[in-house]
Amino acid sequence: MTSRVYPGDPSRGQTFVHLDDVVDAVYRCIDRRTQLPDESVFLIGEPKTLGYAETLGYAELQSEFGRLIYDEP
């Protein structure tokens, strides 16, 4: 089941973000909470997929991983 669950559009690619960058972004939001509106939306990551992931959606990428891992050469 875990290989079939993805919270989003499987035709889209997926960007990557380093954990330290997420922690830094959350820290900055907390630090500036009095200056921010009551509701805010932040994109913590790249605005679009880059490189190889740009040409393959999440579903295609997972299928390719499965083929490379489990199929015989």
Going from the C-alpha of 7 to that of each of 26, 33, 50, 67, the distances in angstroms are: 21, 28, 20, 22
Convert the pLDDT of each residue in 5-62 to its tens digit: 555 666 666 667 788 988 999 999 999 999 999 888 887 877 666 555 456 677 777 8
HSE-CB of 20 using CA atoms within 13 angstroms: 0
pTM for the model stands at 0.50
What percent of the chain has pLDDT above 90?
A: 18
CA pair distance 68, 2, nearest whole angstrom: 18
